[in-house]
Structure 1
Amino acid sequence: MKAIDVQQLVTRFSLEVLAGETELHRKITKSRVYRPGLEFVGYFEFFPQEHIQVLGKKEINYLHTLTEEERNLHIGNIVKYHPPCFIVTAGQEGLKYLKKYCNEEGIPLLRTSSLTTDFLGIMTAYLTKTLAEEISVHGVCVNVAGIGILLRGKSGVGKSETAHTLIRRGHRLVADDIVVLKKLSPQTLLGTHDGKTKEFLALRSIGLVNVSRLYGRKAFQDETRIVLDIELTQWQNNCLNNELELTPRFSEYMNVSIPHIEIQLQPGRDVAGLIEAAANNWYLRQQGYSAAEDFMKRLEMD
């Protein structure tokens, strides 16, 4: 199971440490954050104790209304479950009682000046990506007109050269050689690089090139949602399907299904152009349009 420690959050979001300074090594394994509410009145049946606990104005103002005895009771009921950390938003003050309990129980108490809603959004997005299940695959990842594509094929088939052509046409490189795939949800696959190969493209007979230096910053982006899996293969006679509507095929990565297309290579064939067509055709399908269905309707009208 992937995990990060509280110190990484402190560094990443410039959080102020109010208590539990010696416990910043505590691990976070859950990608969702939680705002305790019912727990303050003693209901703990569904309390997600392994999640980060965020205390916004609503929670802190409620605690301020309690007597010292009530406040100590309600906070004590929560801290005994030892969540990874508490984060107070909107730079709220008057947290002496929280500091006391967090220091006693060894739980980091952190504070941010960000508003609760804004902070929840950026924190959830960060945790989802950072803690996502991931695998590495051999291939190239490109973003074609806003559409993420994974290019696969045997070594030397021409994946990087095809990506180079796409970049020269105004599209973007995400990763070359090693593509890191992250599962953000049962339907969402994110493609990115491993950090070491960022911006680099390996071209046979040329060597490594830095696409951002060569073609400008618009030639590269850090990540993209993968919606097409395109496999480049060597040309085989009589193997291309010329039906009006091909039977849908899919590839699976970490149980996420991605539409799969095979494109055969042959000298003079505009592979980059075919990839652009595949990307645009996928987009039209998402809008509810099918060229084959449109064509058949026209035939029926004659």
Structure 2
Amino acid sequence: MKSLTVENLVQKFSLKILTGKNKLQQKITQSRAHRPGLEFVGHFDFFPTERVQILGRKEITYLHKLSIEERQLRIGNIVKYHPPCFIVTAGQDGLTYLTQYCIEEGIPLLCTNESQTTSEFITKLDAYLVKTLAPETAIHGVCINVYGMGILIRGKSGVGKSETAHTLIGRGHRLVADDIVVLKRLSPRTILGTHDEKTKEFLALRSIGLLNVVRLYGRKAFQDETRIALDIELTKWQKNSLNNELEHESSFTEYMGVQIPHIEIQLQPGRDVAGLIEAAANNWLLKQQGYSAAEEFLKRLESEF
């Protein structure tokens, strides 16, 4: 199981450490934060103890209104489950009682800056946790963003994946990764494509060498990550293997349980592969909007009879 540490959160979000400087190596394995609400009134049946616990203005105001005895009881009931850490948002103060319990139980207590609301912070935190803790795999290929959608370009070594990506960059599209593409499963329907840091911004072209696309073509030539919408496989030309049908039957490639629409493009001298990929991207976008060129064509034929 993937994990990160409390220290990672401190560095990422510039959090202030109130207690637990020696406990920052505690692991975080859950991709969502939690705001204890029902737990403060004694309901622990579904308490996600392994999540980061967020205390915003509502939670802290509620605690301030309790008597000393009641407050000790409510906080004591939560800290005994030893969550990875508590993060107090929106510049809350008067936390002496909470600090005491966190010190006694060895739980890091952190706080955000005053300018950030609780909802804003949770949105950013959850996005970071989901991406960082997402299951991932690496594949050989190229990932490029075409018209705002992520496309995987795969094929055997030497088939022309990187050269095709270079042509697409020249047409205004953006490189995400070359050679090694890291795929992250964010949800049952979402795969994110990114690089492995070592190859960031680099594109390797046979006979030319290694290129830094940002240095050559500017920042617009590169994108850090993209949601994968199409899986395109480049293959050698085989006569009579692909027919000129109105619409090919849908096929998919599965990555970590997520199915991505798959298209095969056969290569032949003179074929504009980059143009075909652009056409495939536009056609996919139209299908997402409910339009099918094949269906419209058939309707026109039917209207003549």
What is the CA–CA distance in structure 2 between the aligned matches of 1:241 and 1:152, rounded to whole Å? 21
Deviation at 1:21, TM superposition (A): 1.4
In structure 2, the partner of 1:245 is: 247
Q: Could you tell me how far apart the structure 2 residues matched to 1:221 and 1:249 are?
A: 27
Q: Out of 137, 144, 147, which is 1:145 matched to?
A: 147
Q: Does 1:39 align with 2:59?
A: no
* Equivalence for 2:83: 83
The yes-or-no answer on 1:157 pairing with 2:164 is no
Q: What is the letter of the counterpart of residue 161 of structure 2? A: K
Q: Which residue of 1 aligns with 2:107?
A: 107
Instruction: Give how far 1:26 is off.
Output: 0.3
Give me the TM-score of the superposition, normalised by structure 1: 0.99
Distance 1:296 1:152 in 2: 33
| Cα displacement (A) at 1:301 | 1.0
Partner of residue 2, structure 2: 2
**C-alpha separation in 1, matches of 2:175 and 2:255:** 21
Aligned residue number for residue 94 of structure 2: 94
- 1:55 aligned partner: 55
* Aligned-partner Cα distance in 2 for 1:147–1:19: 44
Cα deviations by residue, 1:90-109 (Å, 9 ceiling, x for unpaired):
01100000100000000000
Q: Post-superposition shift, 1:241? A: 2.3
Q: Which runs of 4+ in 1 moved over 3 A?
A: none
> Secondary structure of 1:141's partner?
strand
Equivalent in the alignment of 2:130: 128
After superposition, what is the alpha-carbon deviation per residue over 1:227-263, rounded to whole angstroms, capped at 9, x for unaligned? Answer: 1000000001111121111100000000000000000
- What's the % identity of the aligned pairs? 74
Write the mapping of 1:1-302 to structure 2, written as runs, cut at 5 A.
Answer: 1-113=1-113, 114-302=116-304
Structure 2 unmatched ranges of 5 or more: none
- Give the secondary structure class of the aligned counterpart of 2:49: coil
Whichever residue aligns with residue 43 of structure 2, its letter is Y
- AA of the residue aligned to 1:153: G
3-state secondary structure, aligned to 1:33: coil
Once residues 132 and 25 of structure 1 are traced to their aligned partners in structure 2, the CA distance between those partners, rounded to angstroms, is 20
What is the RMSD computed on CA atoms of the aligned residues?
0.5
Distance (Å, rounded) in 2 between the aligned partners of 1:245 and 1:200: 36
Task: List alignment gaps of at least 5 residues for structure 1.
Answer: none
Shift of 1:60: 0.3
Letter in 1 for 2:290: G
Is the deviation greater in 41-50 or in 239-248?
239-248
SS in 1 for 2:243: coil
CA distance in 2, matches of 1:5, 1:221: 27
